[in-house]
Structure 1
Amino acid sequence: MPYLVRERLFIGNIGDAAEVLQKGSDEITHILSFLSSASISFFSEWRSGILIPSKEISKIYAGGSGSEDISSDASKSSLSPDKLLYSLENAGKDLKFVRMAVPLRDIEHENLLDYLDVCLDFIEEGRKKGSVLVHCFAGVSRSAAIVTAYLMKSEQLSKEDALKSLRESCETVCPNDGFLDQLKMFEEMGFKVNRTNPIYKRFRLKVLGESYNRGEKIDDSKFGADPGLPAETISSNIQTSSNETHPSPLYRCKKCRRLIALQENVLDHVPGEGETSFEWHKRRSGNPFNRSDDNECSSIFIEPLRWMTAAMEGALQGKLSCAHCEARLGYFNWSGIQCSCGSWITPGFQLHKSRVDISSV
């Protein structure tokens, strides 16, 4: 049986979902499924009136192995909200359920953040119209991560307090470490997925780097828009606040003045420890105790943008050249680059300060 977490909100496993679909429910009207694939084919038997015992659903989905079968199609699918499947599931003659399926695997590098907004909205709407069952395969990690995020947002709880509260209803829940890290980011962003927040940008770049290192092709859509094209979009991307009299900096090629990056494309990093971050045998000059200039960065690191031709074509590393005059602007490496301050940025898309002009127009 699913566990009641809050009024009109339940958490469970695939067997619980099968039981609801098979026998119906006086309470549950909406089902949010987290499985390795968004495919709903293994639920289709209910629409044709064939009832399969709930204990058999696990065997069907797991291929009799006791764990989920991640097919090649599922493992290759891109994690994008537009891949979600909505359906009206029928059980028997008159019972109907609104179901949303999310293709998410229970592994640490999966991108949970990009699904939070649509999933939390589904839960909120489902609770207004009836009751919601949130489930994954075992009811331990994926469903627990989403319900924890919902409690965090709806009740303004920290990750720790929300998880503790959930465990009072279902003590076996245990989101994997990757999901816990992302829930902490969700908390730090103020319980919303803000795609302009540096926290999200660093996370997104990390996800892209890990995908590349696994041999997956990085789709062009994963690269940020080229701020230099079209020119008429530039003004809309210059952000100002009520307390600022100057627009955010623009980064241009020093040779031809083509716009190559906006401030929102820049990724800040924690300064390293200067020369001490490099090889032990590197010779030091001057007073080793005077570190005033050690941490000065000679480069700017940005997110991957669509003018970076070599990177979009799949190269591991290479030069970053201006799309207009082909002047060398910097360097990229999906495996990472060490900044002059000593910090290691992975993956690294580096602009040399000596090759760019920073201006407001």
Structure 2
Amino acid sequence: MPYLVRENLFIGNIGDAAEILEKGSSEITHVLSVLSSASISFFSEWRSSLEIPAKEIKRVFAGDSEFLEGSKSALSPEKLVYNMEYAGKDLKIVRMAVPIKDTEDENLLDYLEVCLDFIEDGRKNGATLVHCFAGVSRSAAIITAYLMRSEQLSQEAALESLRDCCEFVSPNDNFLEQLKMFEEMNFKVDRGNPKYKRFRLRILGDSYNRGHKIDSSKFGADPGLPREVESTNPETLPDGNKSSTVAYRCKKCRRVVAVQDNIVNHNPGEGMTAFQWQKRRSGNNFNKPDDFGCSSIFIEPLKWMKTVEEGAIEGKLSCVHCDARLGYFNWSGIQCNCGSWITPAFQLHKSRMDISTV
């Protein structure tokens, strides 16, 4: 049986959901299925004797304008975000299926807001059941996030409150880390947040290190294309011009290779003292970290980086227009001259670029 978490909000497993969809329910009107598969036929595949009627309403992909409006998805445009259908005995239950895996490299944040909005709508119009396969990790992470946003609770307080209702829930460590980030972003998914950018880059690096092919559909948009530049969120410049965004151009041909949105910030390390072992000890002052700024910027992988798409672990980054060398990439990481390690790293040398606005 599903567990009651709040008024009109339940948590359960796949068996609970299958029973409700097969026999109907006097309470539950909405079902959020958080499973590896978002297909309509999943329940009939799981239990061959079970045939649950379903009528598809819509399938939403990351590339759909409706999903992308007001946000930048980190998902591949071909990635299914959710599937909506009328399901159950009399086709009266609204079911949304979201394809999330219970793994240490799954990006929960990119699916979070559509799930929370569905739960809220279901509670207003009836009652919502949130379930995964076992009712332990994925569904618990989604409901914890919902309690965090709706009741302004910390990650720890929300999870503790959920455990008061269902003591065996236990989101995996990756989900807990993302929920903590969700809290730090004030209970919304801020895709421009530096910590979110570093997290997304790490997830991409973990996927590469597991031997998965990284294709350009997972890269950021090419800011050198006019349409992409126009869609970039503007950044305020030092002169107060809010209609422009900082752009980094190839010094040789002036093509835009990155904008402010593409930068992955890092905390300064120990400066030149980090390289002390490489240098002779002398009476000069070149070891003072404050005397040196970062000589490079580090960005997310972008669609113009053909060498990266080819699958090498490291290599040069060259301008796609004039082939001038701009920097270097390494999936295992690069150390900035400030002393910080960035992993994976996509590095552009400031000396190879001009800074302007677009």
TM-score computed with the length of structure 1 as normaliser:
0.83
User: Partner of 1:293: helix, strand, or coil?
Assistant: helix
Query: What CA deviation, in whole Å up to 9, does each residue of 1:144-174 have, x standing for no partner?
Result: 1000111111112111121122122112111
| Correspondence for 1:41 | 41
Pair 1:125-2:121 in alignment: yes
Structure 2 letter corresponding to 1:303: E
User: Larger deviation: 296-305 or 234-243?
Assistant: 234-243
CA shift at 1:133, angstroms? 0.5
* Pair 1:219–1:46, CA change in 2 (3 A): closer
Distance change (3 Å), C-alpha of 1:182 and 1:267: same
Partner of 1:237: 232
Give how far 1:183 is off: 0.5
The alignment partner of 2:34 has SS state of strand
Cα distance change, pair 242–164 in 1 and its aligned pair in 2 (3 A):
farther
Residues 327, 86 of structure 1: alpha-carbon distance in 2 compared, 3 angstrom cutoff: same
Does the CA contact (< 8 Å) of 1:22 and 1:46 recur in 2? Answer: no
- Evaluate the alpha carbon distance shift between residue 314 and residue 24 of structure 1 in structure 2; reply closer, same or farther with a 3 A threshold: same
What is the rounded CA distance, in whole Å, between the counterparts of 1:138 and 1:79 in structure 2?
29
Q: C-alpha displacement at 1:276, in angstroms? A: 4.4
Q: CA deviation digits over 1:255-280, x for unaligned, max 9?
A: 22111111111111011113444584
Q: Residues 260-306 of structure 1: CA distance to partner in whole angstroms, max 9, x if unpaired?
A: 11111111101111344458465455458962436631111011111
Matched, 1:82 2:80: yes
| Aligned counterpart for 1:110 among listed residues 91, 106, 109 | 106
- Specify the alignment match of 1:155 in structure 2: 151
Residue of structure 2 equivalent to 1:309? 306
Whether contact under 8 Å (2:20, 2:88) holds in the other structure is no
Compute the TM-score of the two structures, normalised by the length of structure 2: 0.84
C-alpha change, 1:344 and 1:193, in structure 2 (3 Å) is same
Does structure 1 residue 135 correspond to structure 2 residue 94? no
What is the CA–CA distance in structure 1 between the aligned matches of 2:46 and 2:308, rounded to whole Å?
47
Aligned-pair distance for 1:176? 0.8
Q: Which residue of 1 aligns with 2:29?
A: 29
Letter in 1 for 2:102: D
Aligned partner (choices 253, 258, 265) of residue 261 of structure 1: 258
Aligned partners of 1:89 and 1:96 also within 8 Å: yes
The 1:290/1:49 distance shift into structure 2, 3 A limit, reads closer
State the Cα RMSD in Å. Answer: 2.9
Shift of 1:202: 1.3
TM-superposed CA distance for 1:51, in Å, is 7.6
Distance 1:296 1:286 in 2: 21
| Cα distance, 1:218 vs structure 2 | 1.7
Partner of 1:62: none
Code of the aligned partner of 2:218: K
Q: Which ranges of structure 1 fall in alignment gaps of 5 or more residues?
A: 53-76
Q: Which amino acid aligns with 2:134?
A: A
The answer on whether the counterparts of 2:80 and 2:99 sit within 8 Å (CA) in structure 1 is no
Q: Deviations over 1:167-210 (max 9, x none)?
A: 22112111111000001111111211122222221121111111
Aligned residues: 334
Task: Please tell me whether residue 348 in structure 1 is matched to residue 345 in structure 2.
Answer: yes
Correspondence for 1:14 = 14
Measured in 2, the distance between the counterparts of 1:111 and 1:354 equals: 35
- Summarize the Cα distance change of 1:295–1:134 in structure 2 as closer, same or farther, 3 Å threshold: farther
| Residue 192 of structure 1 pairs with residue 195 of structure 2 | no
| 1:325 aligns with one of 308, 322, 334 | 322
